[in-house]
Structure 1
Amino acid sequence: MAFLEIHNLRKSFGDVDVLKGINIAIEEGGFLVLVGPSGCGKSTLLNSIAGLETVSAGEIRIAGRPVNDLHPSERDIAMVFQSYALYPNMNVAENIAFGLEMRGVAKAERDAAVAKVADMLQIEPLLKRRPGQLSGGQRQRVAMGRALVRDPQVFLFDEPLSNLDAKLRVDMRTEIKKLHQALATTIVYVTHDQIEAMTLATQIAVLKDGILQQVGSPEEVYSNPANVFVADFMGSPTMNLMPASLHQANGATSVQIGAVSLPVSEPSEALRAHAGRDIVFGVRPEDVTDVSSADRSARFIETLECGIDVVEPTGADKFVVTRLGEKEVTARVRSSERIAPGDRVPLAFNMDKVHFFDPQTEMRIN
C-alpha cells in the first residue's frame, strides 16, 4: 500500500485551474521529485501536501490517513524552504530546537536531538553562531537540521538548493542523497532542475500547466518518455527531436528525415500502423556518437556521414552539432576525437535507443 497518496487533486485560484487532477502514489521511504518549468504547479502541489494551500478537490493521504482537513502542524510533516527561513535573532542550536520547544519537549531531550542532528550534518562548530554569520550552504544545512530534528513522517523540500552556487549545489545534492539513504524517510522534493531530479529521485513526477505528464523511476522517465514534452524536458543536452515520416516497403520499415533514411529495427505494431504518416523522431545525444564509441551491446547501429557545424568541448567529452533535414542534431563524442567545424565525419546512431512520437497528440508511439 502506498504511504503518500495523492488522488485526483485539483486546486484553483478563482477561475484559474493550477492543479488539474493529479494522481501520484509513493511507497514509504521513497524520494519523489516534482519537476517541471516555472508555473507548472509543482510548488502549489507541495504546499497542498503541507497544508499551506487548501485543495479544491481530491484527497491527500499520509500512511492511510486523510490529511486534507488537518492543520499543517497535525500532518507530521517538516518543510525545508528555498529561503531557509531561519530566525536571525537565534543561534543555530536555538533555530534547530525551536520547533521542539514549541511542542513542549523537555530541554534535555531537545539538546540531545540537536546534538544528534548537528553530528549528522557536521555542523557542531556552528551551533553558537547566528544565521548572519553563516554561508549559504551552512544556512541550508541548518534549515535541514531544523526539519530533521522533528523526525516527521514526510519531509518536503521546496527548491532548497536554488540559492547556492553550482559547485555547492552538487555537494549538497550528495549530502541530501546520503541523508535519505541513512534515514529512509519519505521525501517530496520540488525542483526545476532535471539533473537534480535524476540524481536524487526514486520517482519523478513531471508536470506541465498543472497536468501530470508522467510519473516513474528516473530510468523510466528518461528512457521511455511518455510524450514530446517529457522527452524534451528531461536530459541535458535535450533530446534531439525532428519532424520525419515513416515508410514501409518490402517488409522493411524506415524513417525519412529530409534526404536521410534510417532503417527501423523491429518496429512495434503501433509504429507500423503509422507507416506513410508523419512522426516526430527522437534520439538522445549520447546515442549519436563517434563510431569507436558506439554501444557494443547495441543490436542495430546505423552510420551516417555528417557535416559538423559546431564543436563544444566539455572536458570529459565533446558535443558536436550537425544537421538532419532542417534540424540541428547534437551528438556526444570522445574528447580525444579530432573534429573541427566544417569536417565531414561518420557518426553512429544507436537505433535501439531511438524514439517515435505522434505529431498530433505528441504522445509516444510504443
Structure 2
Amino acid sequence: MAFLEIRNLEKSFGKVSVLKGIDLEIDKGGFLVLVGPSGCGKSTLLNSIAGLETITGGSISIDGRGIDGLHPSKRDIAMVFQSYALYPNMTVAQNIAFGMEIRGVPKAVRDKAIGQVSDMLQIGHLLDRRPSQLSGGQRQRVAIGRALVRDPKLFLFDEPLSNLDAKLRVDMRTEIKRLHQRMGTTIVYVTHDQIEAMTLATKIAVLKDGLLQQSGTPAEIYNNPANTFVADFMGSPAMNLVPVAVHKNGSGVAISAERDNLEPLVLTVPNAPAGLAGHDGGKVIFGVRPEALTDRDSADRNARNIAEGECLIEVVEPAGSDTFAVTRLGGKQVTARLRADANVAAGQKAKLAFNLDKAVFFDPASGQRIG
C-alpha cells in the first residue's frame, strides 16, 4: 500500500472545476513533485492534502488513514510556504520552537530539537536574529527548520524557492535534496520549474488544466512523455516536435520533414513503434531531444540507430560546455546540442546525427504518444 494515496480527487470553486479526477500515490520516503504551468491546479492539490481546501470529491489517505474530513492540525503534516511565513517579532529560535511550545513540549526537548535542526541546516549562528536580519535563503532555512522539528508524517513544500535568485535557488535545491536523502522523509513539493522537478523528485506528476497528464520517475517523464504537452514542458531546451510525413519503407517505416529551399529530410526508423505504420501516408509529430540531435562525434556511441542528415544552420548559440545550433524542419525551429568546439556557423550546412533510439512519435490530432 502506498504511503500517500489520492483517488479520483475533485475540487471545484462554484461552477469552476479546478481538479478533475486526480489519481496519485507515493511510497514512504518518496519525493513527489507536482509540476505544471500557472493555474494548472498544483497548489490547489497541495492545499487539499494539507486540509486548507475542502475537496469536492474523491479521497486522500496517509499511511492507510483517510484524512478527508480531518482538520489541518490533525493530519500530522508540516508545510513550508513560498512566503516563508515567519513571525517578524520572534527570533529564529522562537520561530522554530513556536509550534512545539503551543503543543506544550517541554523546554528541554524544544531546545534539543532546535539545536539538532539548526546544526543540520547550518543556521546555529542565526538563532538570536529576527527574520528582518536574514537573507532570503536564511529565511527559507528557518521555515524548513520549523517544519522539521514537527517530525510529521508528511512534508508539503509550496514553491519554496521561487523568491530566491537563480544561484541561491540552485544552492537551496541541493540542500533540500541532501536533507531528503539524510532523513528519508516523505515530501510533496510544488513548483513550476521543471529543472527543480527533474533534480529533486523520485516521482513527478505533470498537471495541466486540472488534469493529470502523466506521473512517473524523472527518467520516465523525460524519455517517454505521454503526450506533446509533457514532451514540450519537461526539458530545457524543450523536446523538438517536428511534423513529418510517414511512409512504409519495405518492412520498415520512413519519415520525411519538409525544409525551406531544400529537399525533404528523409530518415528511416528502425524498430518503429507498432502504431507508427498505421499512419502510413499521413503525418505524425516526431519528437527528439536536443541531446539526441548532435554532431556525429558527439553522438551516443551505445546507440544502435543513428541517422545523419545535412541541415542548414540558422543560429549558433555558444553556451560554455555546449553549443546549441538551430535549424528548421517541418516548418518548426529545431535545436541541436553540439560539443563546445563544434565547427558550425550560421548560414552554413552541417551534418547532424539523429539518435533514433531516443525518438518518440505523437498523434497530431490528439497529441498522445504513438506506442
TM beyond 0.5 = yes
- What is the identity, as a one-letter code, of the residue corresponding to 1:350? N
CA contact (8 A) 1:77 1:153 kept: yes
Distance of 1:332 and 1:267 partners within structure 2: 24
What's the counterpart of residue 219 of structure 1?
A: 219
Instruction: Say whether 1:341 aligns with 2:350.
Output: no
What's the counterpart of residue 319 of structure 2?
A: 314
Instruction: Say whether 1:107 aligns with 2:107.
Output: yes
What's the counterpart of residue 335 of structure 2?
A: 330
CA contact (8 A) 1:311 1:341 kept: yes
TM-fit CA distance, 1:361: 1.2
What's the counterpart of residue 185 of structure 2?
A: 185
TM-fit CA distance, 1:250: 2.1
CA contact (8 A) 1:260 1:325 kept: no
SS at match of 1:164: coil
What's the counterpart of residue 98 of structure 2?
A: 98
CA contact (8 A) 2:159 2:191 kept: yes
TM-fit CA distance, 1:338: 2.5
Distance of 2:27 and 2:88 partners within structure 1: 37
What's the counterpart of residue 256 of structure 1?
A: 256
- What is the identity, as a one-letter code, of the residue corresponding to 1:131? P
What's the counterpart of residue 295 of structure 1?
A: 300
Distance of 2:331 and 2:95 partners within structure 1: 57
- What is the identity, as a one-letter code, of the residue corresponding to 2:123? I
Distance of 2:309 and 2:167 partners within structure 1: 38
TM-fit CA distance, 1:249: 3.2
- What is the identity, as a one-letter code, of the residue corresponding to 1:272? A
SS at match of 1:199: helix
What's the counterpart of residue 14 of structure 1?
A: 14
CA contact (8 A) 1:227 1:364 kept: yes
TM-fit CA distance, 1:340: 1.7
TM-score (norm 1): 0.99
What's the counterpart of residue 206 of structure 1?
A: 206
TM-fit CA distance, 1:216: 0.2
Instruction: Say whether 1:279 aligns with 2:284.
Output: yes
What's the counterpart of residue 268 of structure 1?
A: 273
- What is the identity, as a one-letter code, of the residue corresponding to 1:245? A
Distance of 2:340 and 2:157 partners within structure 1: 37
- What is the identity, as a one-letter code, of the residue corresponding to 1:322? T
Distance of 2:168 and 2:282 partners within structure 1: 48
CA contact (8 A) 2:252 2:272 kept: no
TM-fit CA distance, 1:242: 1.6
SS at match of 1:85: coil
Distance of 1:164 and 1:263 partners within structure 2: 47
For structure 2, which runs of at least 5 residues remain unmatched after alignment?
259-263
TM-fit CA distance, 1:274: 2.0
What's the counterpart of residue 46 of structure 1?
A: 46
Instruction: Say whether 1:4 aligns with 2:4.
Output: yes
SS at match of 2:279: coil
Distance of 2:15 and 2:330 partners within structure 1: 43
SS at match of 1:273: helix
Q: Could you list the structure 1 runs, at least 4 aligned residues long, displaced by more than 4 angstroms after superposition.
A: none
Distance of 2:219 and 2:24 partners within structure 1: 17
Distance of 1:351 and 1:320 partners within structure 2: 19
- What is the identity, as a one-letter code, of the residue corresponding to 2:224? N
CA contact (8 A) 2:207 2:214 kept: yes
Distance of 1:130 and 1:8 partners within structure 2: 43
Q: Over residues 134-193 of structure 1, what are the superposed CA-to-partner deviations in whole Å (9 max), with x where a residue is unaligned?
A: 000000000000000100000000000000000000000000000000110100000000
Distance of 1:343 and 1:246 partners within structure 2: 28
Distance of 2:33 and 2:71 partners within structure 1: 24
SS at match of 1:176: helix
TM-fit CA distance, 1:269: 1.9
Q: Over residues 203-262 of structure 1, what are the superposed CA-to-partner deviations in whole Å (9 max), with x where a residue is unaligned?
A: 000000000000000000000000010000000000110211211032231011111111
- What is the identity, as a one-letter code, of the residue corresponding to 1:92? V
- What is the identity, as a one-letter code, of the residue corresponding to 1:276? G
Distance of 1:365 and 1:109 partners within structure 2: 57
TM-fit CA distance, 1:306: 1.1
What's the counterpart of residue 196 of structure 2?
A: 196
Percent identical across equivalent pairs? Answer: 67
What's the counterpart of residue 139 of structure 2?
A: 139
- What is the identity, as a one-letter code, of the residue corresponding to 2:62? I
- What is the identity, as a one-letter code, of the residue corresponding to 2:294? T
Q: Over residues 98-140 of structure 1, what are the superposed CA-to-partner deviations in whole Å (9 max), with x where a residue is unaligned?
A: 0000111011111111111000001000000000000000000
Distance of 2:301 and 2:175 partners within structure 1: 35
Distance of 1:192 and 1:328 partners within structure 2: 24
What's the counterpart of residue 31 of structure 2?
A: 31
Distance of 2:175 and 2:125 partners within structure 1: 18
- What is the identity, as a one-letter code, of the residue corresponding to 2:320? G
Aligned-pair RMSD on alpha carbons?
A: 0.7
TM-fit CA distance, 1:268: 2.6
Distance of 1:254 and 1:336 partners within structure 2: 32
For structure 1, which runs of at least 5 residues remain unmatched after alignment?
none
